[in-house]
Structure 1
Amino acid sequence: MAEQKDPVPAGEIELAPSPSGPTPQQLAQDDTGGKKDKAAEFLAKNGLGQRIVITAADSARVLRRIDTVILPLMLVVYFLQGLDKATLAYASVFGLIEDTGLHGDQYGWLGSIVYLAQLVMQPPLAWLLVRLPIGKFTAAMVLSWGISLSCMAASHNFGGLLATRFLLGVFEASVAPSFVAITQMWWRRREQTVRTSYWYAMNGITNMFGSLITYGLGHISSTLHAYQIIFIFFGVITVVFSFVMFYFMPDSPIEAKFLSEEDKIIAVERLRMNQMGLISRKWRNDHLKEALLDPKSWFWFALLFSISIPSGGISTFGPLIIKTFGYDQFQTILFNIPFGFVQLVATVGGAFLAQRIKMKGPVIALLCLPPIAGCVMLIVLPRDAGHRASLLAGYYLISVYPGITPLIYSWSSQNTAGDTKRKSTNAILLVGQSIGNVIGPLLYTQTEAPGYARGLRSNLALYVAIIVLVGLTTLYLRLLNRRHAARRVAMGKSAVIIDTSLDSEKEAAAALEAENKTAGVEDAPTVQTGDRAFEDLTDLENEEFVFVL
């Protein structure tokens, strides 16, 4: 890390000391009633009342450290979570329905009950994620859901399966909000979209390798049923990894053992331009009220609700849909592998495209088009041997839809600031996701096989609705940016501010250099925004916050 007064070489980022920035004493003296972010307290403790200079090399080095330690933990946990939820679909083709006497819509309820449990858990989770150390809390939840999954092997009827699936949902409910919060806490806004896609893309890896693992487990000769072996195998692996998670996952950048004190400062400072804060560990009811009254929250709710109905239905009934094309149980499992590959490509590819154009809305709308075509194909094509290839193609087109969900996560998280408001907004949108996932499997019933017309038609309508919602959300975010610009002018600030949180390091350096030349102070550092970044302000309170379209 460079000294504060040293010049920064060309092509490197300078986060320069702001003449008007607070002193260490001002930072330490919390004049907001104890509402400052922990990052402000950390910087004050280290005597850093002003911004420090971070070179591009320092930023890249710390980013590599974060990616090396934090990201693999998230990838494995999300992979296991996807596996654990998918075990029901895998078990369904290995005799679970027949052996446990499921009938009517009971199998559909086993898919929905997980999301019903997640729906119930979202409000208390918002409070817990603000108040508790997030790394240790998440590890405890991983341990608990691994135990719940293992216990499913002992369930021999609908009641037992329903109870264990409910517990599985209770403990898995923490994964998405925890991971969204962790992503906000460790990476810049530009980096968040792709990192979110990485851990969410583990669902695609699950569909690929989970199918292969299940294929192998299904051939084991044992006194246990094949589906019982599946439940025990994946449950035990999850329990074991929870201890790895507990040991290695830090609760925040300022508490990370794998970072030196100097690197902790860099890790915090590089997040300043996010304008989103870090952690507070203090619950604020005013933030909760703002989250509930903010129209943005309900746009995210509607978007995630709309994509989760198709997601819940396909994730539960996908293998059964393939089976209606005329394949046996082992062929069904193998033909589900390309579904995961397409899902992986769509998720990561969509994120890179959104990062490149610095917009989420157009990419979400684009990703709706293949599933629309796929739904139409499955609705109109007959289920006979002559159309198997076309039916599979339609099914694989539908598999593009998972790329939409992580973009909604990122779109919401990058447009929300303030610790309590972030967690509360996450809870709102994940309530929408849970409701959608509860409804989704219930739109598909075994009595409607092989066509599943009601489920596919509803999914088709919802993909169209998402495109409309994207347009409305984008218009509202533009309005908010105009309102913030007007507020800045009224306060004597520039209407246009430099926001480098979505820029690459070279783009950020070029933007600052261009601003300096425009201001006629080519040799002087530009005074940037971000002085209030760690004051635990919401996105609507902080007039310097820039909304991402």
Structure 2
Amino acid sequence: MTASRDPSIDSTHKVVVDEQRIEDFIEKEPVAGPSTGDKQAKDAALEILGSGTEHHEITEEEDRRVLRKIDLWVMPVVLLVYFLQQLDKSSLSYTSVFGIVEATGLVGTQYSWLSSIVYLAQLIWQPISSFLLVKLPIAKYLFVNVCMWGVVVAATSAAHDFRGLITARFFLGIFEASVAPAFITITQMWWRRREQTMRLSMWMAMNGGTGMVGSLLSWGLGHIHGRLQSYQVIFLFIGLLTVVCSPIVLLVLPDSPSTAKFLSREEKIVALERLRANNQGTETKVWKWEQVWDLLLDLKTYLWFCLLFLCAVPSGGIGAFGPLIIAGFGFDQFYTILFNVPFAFIQIIITLSAAWISTKLKLKWPVIFGLSIPPIAGVVALLKLGRDKEDRGALLACYYVLSFFNGLQPMLYTWSAQNTAGHTKKLCTTGMVFVAQCAGNIVGPLLYRTDEKPYYRRGLIANLICWIALAVLTLITAVFLAFRNKQQATARRRLGKAGKVVDRSLETYSERRAESDEYTKPGQGELKNDKAFDDLTDTQNEDFIYVL
């Protein structure tokens, strides 16, 4: 790896690495970073890279080696925490099969509210959480929240009525509010945009992993007969498991690439240089109100909000009532839990397959549109079929088809994250998206009632409407982003840059080499991305390219 002001990549894409020059650069080269007065206002990457306009060429082998390190150190922690978060949150649905409704005297929509209150608490706490994620070290803040929500879940086992349960679930929502925004921020600061889709989908696929492990775990715990009731055993075990695992976050997860102890100084340069083409930066510790106004005036902010809300309404309803829907097919409590396992397994396959296809296509909208079609067909069939014993096989098949909707949320999360720049704006966009998800998850369970079993028609019809609306809005969003890319190209030409460019952040090295001849054609060029670490928003940086 050598320091260079020429960002171009030669046709063979092989750079001779001179170890002595690396040492000279690290030990002798003065850092041309931001002054002390505005140090916090600049991206943290500049403390390592020096000037934002100074490029450091990296080889394919260096890129792969550092990526492997990042995947080995960061991803396991992210997967573990998201698994625990989903397990703790979903513990209510497992206890529903083991008599929590009857044991605690829940009536009407009280059970629905136990699911919705978690998201209501997240909705209330989200603005504060977004602010704290800017001001505080992200890994340490995450550790405190993980530990505390584990304590809350364990304490839920002591609740014997609706009042105790809803209080515990409210505080669970408060502490879990940091997880999704923190992980989206972590994904943006560690991986290139091409890599983000699969990584984000991997940690969101833990929803399915939780569904499988949680169902089998609950099946086993449900057979324990002692002084505690089955639902209490489930809460206690799952909560204590989270508390025991929480120190891993503090000990392993770094706050940013700039502070990662598992990377050497030269590896940090590689890790940060990899992100230049993203034009999204890593992090700053200054809250910038101008980026908040940028967010509020940006039409796509409201498109993300609507898309996530339409996605979350069915997700919240089926997430809370899924086991009860299966029970409505005529199965007992243990079969109900076991039949939930294939649903969760399909969810993992769909989520990862959608990410792979999207990465290959370098597009999001066709995948999102395609994922919305099977649930529409599945819910129509559930509304048409009866609940007789001979219909069980068909009913289960239709219910499993609904699992395609689980691939929508990671795709929408990635789509919004990849199309936003500026640290404050990124966190606020994530906050807005998460608010939409919370609102949908609040509404979703309330559209179902325990006294409407086994058909739950009102909830299923509402889900059908949401999926149809989501498919239409996906097409509208794609058209708008294409329009914004044309505006960005016009802005570049006005500044004397090439208007037609290729988004390097979505390409592999082999694709760069194969397409190298294209940049000699008239009207085409390659971005230098000199503003990548200036903490500009996507609307302020003409080099930013929107992902369709």
TM range (shorter): over 0.9
* Partner in structure 2 of residue 352 of structure 1: 356
Verify the 8 A CA contact 2:5 2:54 in the aligned structure 1: no
User: Within 2, Cα distance between the matches of 1:146 and 1:488?
Assistant: 50
Is 2:294 the partner of 1:290?
Answer: yes
1:339-363: CA deviation from partner (whole Å, max 9, x where unpaired): 1011111100001111010011110
Match of 1:534 in 2: 533
The amino acid that maps onto 1:405 is Q
Alignment partner of 2:308 out of 298, 304, 310: 304
Alignment root-mean-square deviation, CA: 2.2
1:12 partner letter? H
* SS of corresponding position for 2:55: coil
- Residue 422 of structure 1 is matched in structure 2 by 426
Partner of 2:20: none
1:255-281 deviation line (CA, Å, top 9, x unaligned): 001111111111011000000011011
Q: Using a 3 Å threshold, how does the CA distance of structure 1 residues 420 and 14 change in structure 2: closer, same or farther?
A: farther
Instruction: Select which of 337, 341, 344 maps to 2:341.
Output: 337
Between stretches 434-443 and 526-535, larger displacement belongs to: 526-535
Provide closer, same or farther for how the CA distance between residues 158 and 506 of structure 1 changes in structure 2, counting only shifts above 3 A.
same
1:139 aligns with 2:138: no
Rounded Cα–Cα distance in structure 1 between residues aligned with 2:517 and 2:409: 36
Matched, 1:12 2:13: yes
Residue deviations 1:316-344 (CA, integer Å, cap 9, x gap)? 00000000100000000000001101111
**Alpha-carbon distance in 2 for matches of 1:11, 1:229:** 61
**Equivalent of residue 149 in structure 1, options 153, 157, 160:** 153
* Matching of residue 117 in structure 1 with residue 121 in structure 2: yes
Mapped partners of 2:370, 2:206: distance in 1 = 21
Question: Residue 40 of structure 1: which of 18, 43, 46 is its match?
Answer: 46
Q: In structure 2, the residue corresponding to 1:334 is in which secondary structure? A: helix
Maintained 8 Å contact 1:8/1:55: no
SS at match of 1:38: coil
User: Is 1:505 matched up with 2:536?
Assistant: no
Structure 2 counterpart of 1:267, one-letter code = A
2:227 aligns to what SS in structure 1? coil
List aligned pairs for 1:342-421, cutoff 5 A.
Answer: 342-421=346-425
CA distance in 1, matches of 2:547, 2:15: 23
Matches within 5 A, 1:6-155: 11-12=12-13, 27-29=33-35, 35-44=41-50, 50-155=54-159
How many Å separate the matches in 2 of 1:13 and 1:402? 42
Shift of 1:399: 1.1
Map of 2:489 onto structure 1: 485
Distance 1:228 1:486 in 2: 62
Q: Is the 8 A contact 1:15 1:54 kept in 2?
A: no
Normalised TM-score (structure 2): 0.94
The one-letter code of the counterpart of 2:42 is K
Query: Distance between the aligned counterparts of 2:30 and 2:468, measured in 1?
Result: 52
Letter in 1 for 2:530: D
Tell me, in whole angstroms, the C-alpha distance in 1 between the residues paired with 2:485 and 2:38.
Answer: 26
In the TM superposition, residue 391 of structure 1 has moved relative to its aligned partner by 0.4
Q: How many residues were matched structurally?
A: 535
Question: What SS does structure 1 have at the residue aligned with 2:484?
Answer: helix
Distance across 2 between alignment mates of 1:132 and 1:219: 44
Name the CA distance, whole Å, in 2 between partners of 1:29 and 1:485.
Answer: 33
How do 1:445-524 residues align onto structure 2 when only pairs under 5 Å count?
445-511=449-515, 513-515=516-518, 517-518=520-521
User: Residues 113 and 280 of structure 1: is their aligned pair in 2 closer, same or farther, counting only changes over 3 Å?
Assistant: same
- The worse-fitting range, judged by mean Cα deviation, of 30-39 and 177-186 is 30-39
- Equivalent position amino acid for 2:535 in 1: D
- C-alpha deviation, 1:183, in angstroms: 0.2
- The answer on whether the counterparts of 2:3 and 2:55 sit within 8 Å (CA) in structure 1 is no
Does the 8 A contact of 2:108 with 2:451 survive in 1?
Answer: yes
Return closer, same or farther for 1:516/1:317 CA change in 2, 3 Å cut-off: closer
Q: CA deviation at 1:490?
A: 1.0
Are residue 435 (structure 1) and residue 439 (structure 2) matched? yes
For 1:281, the aligned partner's letter is: K
* 1:199-210 alignment, distance < 5 Å: 199-210=203-214
Q: Is the 8 A contact 1:24 1:48 kept in 2?
A: no
For residue 497 of structure 2, give the secondary structure of its aligned residue in structure 1. coil
Q: Which amino acid aligns with 1:249?
A: L
SS in 2 for 1:52: strand
Query: Is the 1:144–1:171 contact (alpha carbons within 8 Å) kept by the matching residues of 2?
Result: yes
Can you list the C-alpha shifts for 1:120-168, whole angstroms capped at 9, x where unaligned? 1111111111111111111111001100100100000000000000000
Structure 2 Cα separation of the partners of residues 243 and 475 of structure 1: 45
Confirm or deny that 1:193 pairs with 2:197. Answer: yes
Per the alignment, do residues 505 and 517 of structure 1 end up closer, same or farther by CA in structure 2, a change over 3 Å counting? same
Structure 1 494/49 Cα, relative in aligned 2: closer, same or farther at 3 Å? closer
AA of the residue aligned to 1:547: Y
How much does 1:25 deviate? 6.7
Conserved 8 A contact 2:382-2:395: yes
Aligned partner letter, 1:262: E
Distance 2:119 2:256 in 1: 28
- Does the 8 Å contact 2:311/2:440 carry over to 1? yes
CA contact (8 A) 1:346 1:403 kept: yes
Q: Identify which range, 185-194 or 233-242, moves more after superposition.
A: 233-242
**Which residue pairs with 2:24 in the alignment?**
none
CA distance in 2, matches of 1:362, 1:409: 15
Partner of 2:546: 547
Q: Distance in 2 between matches of 1:168 and 1:86?
A: 11
How big is each residue's C-alpha offset from its partner over 1:83-133, in whole Å with a ceiling of 9 and x where there is no partner? Answer: 111110000111111110001110000010001011111111111111111
Contact map agreement 1:43 1:49 (CA 8 A) in 2: no
Counterpart of 1:514 in structure 2: which amino acid? Answer: D
- CA displacement at 1:49 relative to structure 2: 5.6
Could you list the per-position Cα deviations for residues 144-198 of structure 1 after superposition, in whole angstroms to 9, with x for gaps in the alignment? 1100100100000000000000000111111110000000010000000000000
Q: Residues 154, 246 of structure 1: CA spacing in aligned structure 2 closer, same or farther, 3 A cutoff?
A: same
Residues 482-515 of structure 1 show CA distances to partners (whole Å, capped at 9, x for unaligned) of 111111111111111232100112112333x225
| One-letter code aligned to 1:258 | F
Contact 2:46 2:52 in 1 (8 A): no
* Amino acid in the other structure paired with 2:372: C
Instruction: Give, in whole Å, the separation in 1 of the partners of 2:374 and 2:455.
Output: 19
Q: In 2, distance between residues paired with 1:464 and 1:160?
A: 38
* Cα distance change, pair 270–13 in 1 and its aligned pair in 2 (3 A): farther
Which range moves more in the overlay, 27-36 or 74-83?
27-36
Partner SS, residue 540 of structure 2: coil
Per the TM alignment, residue 42 of structure 1 is displaced from its structure 2 partner at its CA by 2.6
- What is the TM-score normalised by the length of structure 1? 0.94
Q: Separation in 1 of the partners of 2:234 and 2:283?
A: 39
Match of 1:325 in 2: 329
Cα 1:451–1:278, aligned 2, differ >3 Å: closer, same or farther? same
Counting aligned pairs with the same residue, the percent is 48
Cα deviation, residue 31, structure 1: 9.7
